[in-house]
Every structure is written in C-alpha cells, then in structure tokens.
C-alpha cells in the first residue's frame, strides 16, 4: 500500500507511534492543572513539549498556544482580531482553505465587515500588487496562506508580512501545509498569527498550535478555567500535545529525507511529462512543497484516475478532502485560471517525509498504466 | 499507587488503552473526509462510534456532535443560544464550573447581557424556587450542572429541564461529571444541550461531545470546512472519538462496578466519621455520585492532608484542578454556606469505575494516619 494523501492527513510518524504506545502503557495520566505530583509531571512534560515546538518553529515559548488544530487556530485568530474591530476590511486570497473563507464570511454576514479576495496569478501565487492596492487604514486583517493544500504552491508570506507590518495590519498566515514540510522560522517570518495541525505532520489527530507574535492580543475562543494562560479553556490534551513535539523533532532531525523526496518528485514529474506530453502539472514552475504533485491529464476524470490508482493500492485524492466529492474544477484552480478541461482531470499526489522515496517509481508505473488505459476511453 | 483524582482527570480505562495501542499499531490513518477507501474506513469507524455514544446516552445519532471536550461544548452552547439573542437574562447556578461562569461573563461584558446566579441550598443542591422566581420572558438561557465536580452532589436537572421547557427557555446542563459515573438518558432528561469530556471517563484527552436536542440550533463555533454536519470545523479527531465509544461501552457493560464502589464509599465515609467525629463530609445527606467524597477535618489544612496522602502514594486534590492553588474556601463551598473552618480543610477523593473498591480501605488507613498526625499540630 502507498499512502499518498499526506496533505489530507498524515499517518502517525514512526516516532510518534512508538511514543504514544509507550506513553499509554506507562502513564502517568492526570490533569496537568492538578496540584499533586502526577499533575506536575504531566504539566512538565507538556511544557517541555511546548519548548520543543517553539524551538523548532523559531518562536518564543510564550508565543505557542496549544489547541485542537489549525481550524480552531484560524477561528481564534479571526476572533482575536475581528471581535469588535471598527475597521471593516478583511483581505484574503482566492486560494484560502474554507476555514479562512468561512471565518471571513461569518464576520461579513454577522458583523457587517467587508471581504476583499485578492487576485491569484496564473502560476498559483497570490498577486502582491493587488494586496498593495487594497491594504489601507480601514483594513482589519490580511489572511494569506504559506503553502496551498491542493497545489503545494508556496506563497510569498515574508513579503506579505512586510506589507502588513508596514501598514500596521495583523497578518494571519495559514501555515498548516507548510510547517513540517519545509523549514519555518516564525520570528523571521514577520507573521502575526500562524497555525498548524498535528495530523498534517504525523502527530496525533485533534491537536495543533496557534503561534502569536503578541500573545496578549489573543482572545479566548474556547472559554474555560484559565488554561493556556487564559487563552484556551479546557483541560489540555497533553497526550496529543506531546506528539507535536515528537513529530516536529523528527522533522528537524530528518530534513535530509525531504531533499531526497524532492529530487525524486522532480524526477517523477519529468518522467511522466515525457511519457504523456498532454499532462499538466499545476504550478509546475512555481515554488512548491517538496512532496506535492497536482497533476491532470485533460480529458480523463481525476476521479477515474484516483479509482484506478486505488485498485493498485495507491491512495490519492482529487483535490482537498473537503471538496473531494464535487467533480468540478476546485475554487483554487479557478482562482489560477485553470480551465475546466484541466481542472476536472486533477489528482493530488502528496507524500510526507516518512514516505519511502521509491514510492514515486511505483506511482509512476501505476499512473502510467492508468493514463494508458483511461486515455483510450476518455471520459470527457 | 492509588489515583483518587478521577473528577480532575481519569486515567485511560483498560479497554481504551488496549484499543488505542492496537489502533495505532494497525491503522488505518486517513482524513475521514477523503474519498478514497481508507478515508471511508476511518469515517465509518467514527460514525459507528457516534452511534455507540448516542445509544449509551439515550440520544439520537444526529444529536451527537464530536468536539474537543466539555469546555468547547459549553462555549458552543452559549454561542448557539446567546449570539444576537435579544433576551437579556442568563441564569446560572452558584456552583457552576468556571467554563460556564466565564461564558456568562463574556456575554455580560461584551454584549450587555445580565447574569443571575441562583441560590444554593446548604445541602449543595440548587434552589429550584429561586429558579422559578427568576425565569421569565426575558430569560435567554439557564445553565445548571448535573453533578458538581468538587462535591459530587447531584442536581435536580430533570426538574430544571421541566421548568425551562415550560417557560420555553433553552437549558444547558453541564453533564461532564455525571456522564460515565451514573446512567444518563438525554431524551428523557428534557435537557436542550448536554456536554462531556473524554478524559473524565477514561477515554482519550482532548475529545468530547455536545449533545443537542435540536441540532439545527447549534451554531458553528470552530469555523471550518463543513465537518460535523457544518457544526464543528476541522478534521475530526477520529482516533480519540473512537475511544469515547469504547469508554462509554465499558461504562454501560460494567455498571455493577459502580454499585460495589458506592457501597464501599458509604462504608468508608461512616468508618472515618466514626473514628473522627469532627470530620465533615460535604453534602453527606445529598444525592451524590457513587465515587466522590469531599471531606474536611476542620483545623487541618486540606493541602497538608493532600501532601500526607501523596507521601503514601495516594493522589487526591483539595478542590477542583482549576482552583487547586488557592488555599481558600472554594466558591462552590461558599455557595453552600460552608464555613472557612471547614472549607480550608477539604480534600476531594474521587475514584472511577475502573478503580479497585479495596482502595477505600487503603485510603481509610492513610487518611486516618494523616488526621492522627496532623491533628496534633493543627494548622489553623
């Protein structure tokens, strides 16, 4: 079996599996806020995990808030910035995850804010000039991701941060697909709020981080008993938070794996293009994550390819998990002016740093066979 | 070692440990919203878990929403009811968890609502007459818990539900300490919104449920890509949600353990009272959870007792995890008119259904020794 849907959700990385099994066999289990020794032990392990996460991500210990994942982080960043904000304008890109889009829509519909969607260049990169044109004194916030979940295309988040910082506008950057796939330094980035999900990097499901340049600006979204420095109520999910540190440490100490993967990915893409000249690789010449290929054979339905690959034990998706069920050109591709002819044909092949690079050879074989077979019975 | 802080957080129950270890060894891991077979498998296991939870708790499948825990559930219930609600009054009890208190305060401070705190009778039970006096056409919601985290005293939630239903006022019942410790039937309860946390019943940390009589009234607090029927964004924490079903199934099939525990708890309390006539058991004659004893020896600091017990490997707390660090009479006890003399002396001994009932004998010995020792050097 080859699992090639890391951008959807990553399997637990080997070190995380080992950690969780040992952790569950040995304990201790306790409320990290309890005064007894077991509580203190749990608390210390959790705070140590926070230190590791902060270090790997170039943030201060106090800037790192644990939560249930990137969607909560995004919602909380919006809440922190937008709650009772007199400034009207929310600027987002056209390729944002639905969490960002729907947060912006919430403040539009329920509190009368205004949403500006930036243009995306045909190469899948957000148009910086459009941002410069729109940002003004009435801008409450900007939300542009670091790397796109469908295409893997990397966005110029440092330049965006610079524009935002100059204009004194808070910048929320959805770094969910970026963190754990390439090096990230929060402090150097200039970003005000960054987010991540454990399950995208091989840590446990249901955990994540909100990193805030100024944590005092964070407003409590999940309102509880003072946990996470009063910024996130509820007994901390310490078992999962520990795995964030394990996965990020694994990432930091295995960066070479990403390079190998990248080399193999580039090779895979050129081989498939050579064999099938009609094939389109989305964002081919744009900066991309080392492990994402979003590929289309115009005329062959992506879903048909996905099913063919699945019959050979290779698991890919057609776009993002949330819009998977709609056999239409995704909004991300539409923003890039990708035609329906190409858009309906895409499958997303996404590996992770724990994947065997040789998988690309197997995927090449299976994909070639699928294209050979399906091109004879073109579906649209 | 005897862990006697189940009301703070329960260790994973044996069946949950076994399930998680097997689950992590064998997989599969996938995004439950992905179209491929692995995604479907994960989704089906998760939905099956929802069915089990619904069945054990007397709810419909569609009434059960997975989330990160009771604090999120409480915040979401408040948001669902209070967002843009023209009715001003929020009625809560004086013994609510800080999650409820702080949610009510948020709507007071930020949206001009009014908070009414009901009287508590000296036996630790909320005053129903006071509720009847206060509930009116201007009441937006009522929040009274099912069982108190500190005292274990059970509240008349069915009567409260009846009063609320008659007055057409939504009733949020914090059932966090009740579920998994005694039988609960959501439909029969008349409650509009109930909540729970996995880590209180031996399931994984960081997961829980919001149960809603009419799920269409639930507003999305964590805003994402349409997961949980559009009511809770973010990739589902499927690994943890499965353990909710495992723990609740364990609960349902081991109810006899609770009875045995209750018998031993009653025996333990009468033995300690016999030996130390000055000792006070909070809510002694009130309906209580089978596994909670909140006990005070006036004049001996609770924290001194806690440390003594800890030195013998018995882990208890002085009050709830969140207010643990303050050596003062807790607000729950103050609401019950408990004097400081008693209030400063309390320790909470809380076991769970997986605990060996013989623990009560060991706790009796250790507590007796502690009281013997410390009463000679009374601390206040």
Residue A377: per-residue pLDDT: 81
What is the average per-residue pLDDT within B305-319? Answer: 95
What is the average per-residue pLDDT within B16-20? Answer: 98
Q: Which residue of A has its CA nearest to B72?
A: A222
Domain residue ranges in chain B:
2-9+255-375, 14-252
Measured in angstroms, the CA of B103 and the nearest CA of chain A are apart by: 6
Q: Which residue of A has its CA nearest to B321?
A: A34
CB contact under 8 A, A237 and B5: no
Q: Which of A233, A243, A320, A327 to mutate to test the interface with B (most CBs of B within 10 A)?
A: A233
B255-284 residue pLDDT tens = 999 999 999 999 999 999 999 999 999 999
Query: What CATH code is assigned to B2-9+255-375?
Result: 3.90.1150.10
> In chain A, what residues touch B10 (CB-CB under 8 Å)?
29
Distance of alpha carbon B180 from alpha carbon B244, whole angstroms: 10
Which spans in A282-326 are helix H?
302-311
Residue A296: per-residue pLDDT: 97
CB contact under 8 A, A235 and B102: no
Residue A319: per-residue pLDDT: 73
3-state secondary structure of A158: helix
CB contact under 8 A, A224 and B12: no
Distance of alpha carbon A121 from alpha carbon B54, whole angstroms: 48
Model ipTM? Answer: 0.96
Residue A4: per-residue pLDDT: 98
Residue B325: per-residue pLDDT: 57
Identify the band that residue B116 occupies on the pLDDT scale cut at 50, 70 and 90.
very high
Mean of all residue pLDDT scores within chain B: 96
How far apart are the two ends of chain A, measured CA to CA in Å?
Answer: 29
Residue A137: per-residue pLDDT: 98
Cα separation values, B253 from A281, B183, B352, Å: 55, 11, 14
Distance of alpha carbon B370 from alpha carbon B341, whole angstroms: 18
CB contact under 8 A, B102 and A223: yes
Distance of alpha carbon B207 from alpha carbon B244, whole angstroms: 8
Identify the band that residue A302 occupies on the pLDDT scale cut at 50, 70 and 90.
very high
CB contact under 8 A, A221 and B321: no
Question: Please, are residues B168 and B138 in contact by the beta-carbon 8 Å criterion?
Answer: no
CB contact under 8 A, B71 and A225: yes
What is the average per-residue pLDDT within B172-189? Answer: 98
pLDDT at B324 exceeding the cut of 60: no
Residue A192: phi and psi, rounded to 5, are: -90, -40
CB contact under 8 A, B17 and A24: yes
> In chain A, what residues touch B349 (CB-CB under 8 Å)?
none
> In chain A, what residues touch B220 (CB-CB under 8 Å)?
102
Q: Domain A14-252, what fold?
A: 3.40.640
A305-334 residue pLDDT tens = 999 999 999 999 997 555 455 568 999 999
A98-127 residue pLDDT tens = 999 999 999 999 999 999 999 999 999 999
> In chain A, what residues touch B233 (CB-CB under 8 Å)?
71, 75, 99, 102
Q: Which of A7, A8, A203 to mutate to test the interface with B (most CBs of B within 10 A)?
A: A8
pLDDT at B192 exceeding the cut of 80: yes
Distance of alpha carbon B243 from alpha carbon B13, whole angstroms: 10
Of B12, B30, B106, the CB nearest to A9: B30
Using the Cα atoms of residue B85, residue B91, residue B94 and residue B95 in order, give the sign of their dihedral. Answer: negative
pLDDT at A241 exceeding the cut of 90: yes
> In chain A, what residues touch B303 (CB-CB under 8 Å)?
35
Measured in angstroms, the CA of A309 and the nearest CA of chain B are apart by: 10
Count of CB atoms situated within 10 Å of the CB of A262: 16
B132-167 residue pLDDT tens = 999 999 999 999 999 999 999 999 999 999 999 999
pLDDT at B321 exceeding the cut of 80: no
Residue A230: per-residue pLDDT: 95
CB contact under 8 A, A303 and B35: yes
CB contact under 8 A, A199 and B235: yes
pLDDT at B232 exceeding the cut of 90: yes
Cα separation values, A269 from A12, A151, A280, A298, B143, Å: 27, 14, 10, 16, 58
Structure-token match 């948001």, residue found: B79
Measured in angstroms, the CA of A17 and the nearest CA of chain B are apart by: 6
Distance of alpha carbon A125 from alpha carbon A337, whole angstroms: 12
């Amino acid at each position: 079996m080859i699992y090639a849907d890391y951008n959807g959700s990553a399997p637990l990385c080997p070190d995380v599996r080992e950690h969780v099994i040992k952790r569950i066999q040995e304990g201790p289990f306790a409320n990290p806020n309890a005064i007894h020794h077991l509580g203190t032990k749990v608390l210390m392990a959790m705070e140590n995990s926070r230190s590791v996460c902060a270090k790997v991500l170039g943030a201060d210990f106090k800037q790192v808030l644990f939560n249930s994942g990137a969607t909560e982080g995004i919602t909380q960043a919006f809440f922190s910035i937008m709650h009772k904000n007199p400034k009207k304008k929310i600027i987002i890109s056209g390729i944002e995850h639905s969490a960002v889009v729907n947060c912006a829509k919430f403040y539009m519909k329920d509190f009368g804010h205004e949403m500006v969607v930036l243009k995306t260049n045909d190469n899948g990169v957000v148009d910086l000039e459009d941002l410069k044109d729109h940002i003004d004194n009435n801008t409450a916030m900007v939300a542009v991701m670091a790397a796109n979940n469908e295409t893997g295309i990397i966005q110029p988040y440092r330049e965006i941060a610079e524009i935002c910082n100059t204009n004194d506008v808070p910048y929320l950057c959805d770094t969910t697909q970026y963190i754990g796939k390439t090096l990230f330094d929060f402090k150097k980035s200039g970003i005000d709020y960054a987010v991540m999900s454990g399950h995208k990097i091989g840590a446990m499901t249901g955990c994540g981080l909100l990193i805030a340049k100024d944590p005092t600006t964070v407003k409590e979204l999940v309102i509880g008993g003072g946990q996470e420095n009063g910024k996130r109520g509820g007994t901390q999910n310490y078992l999962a938070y520990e795995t964030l540190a394990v996965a990020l440490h694994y990432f930091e100490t295995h960066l070479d794996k990403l390079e190998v993967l990248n080399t193999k990915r580039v090779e895979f893409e050129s081989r498939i293009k050579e064999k099938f000249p009609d094939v389109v690789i989305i964002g081919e010449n744009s900066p991309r994550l080392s492990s994402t290929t979003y590929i289309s054979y115009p005329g062959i339905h992506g879903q048909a390819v996905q099913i063919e690959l699945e019959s050979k034990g290779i698991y890919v998706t057609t776009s993002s998990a949330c819009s998977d069920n709609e056999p239409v050109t995704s909004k991300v591709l539409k923003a890039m002016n990708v035609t329906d002819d190409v858009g309906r044909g895409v499958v997303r092949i996404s590996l992770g740093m724990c994947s065997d690079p040789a998988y690309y050879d197997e995927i090449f074989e299976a994909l070639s066979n699928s294209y050979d077979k399906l091109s004879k019975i073109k579906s649209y």
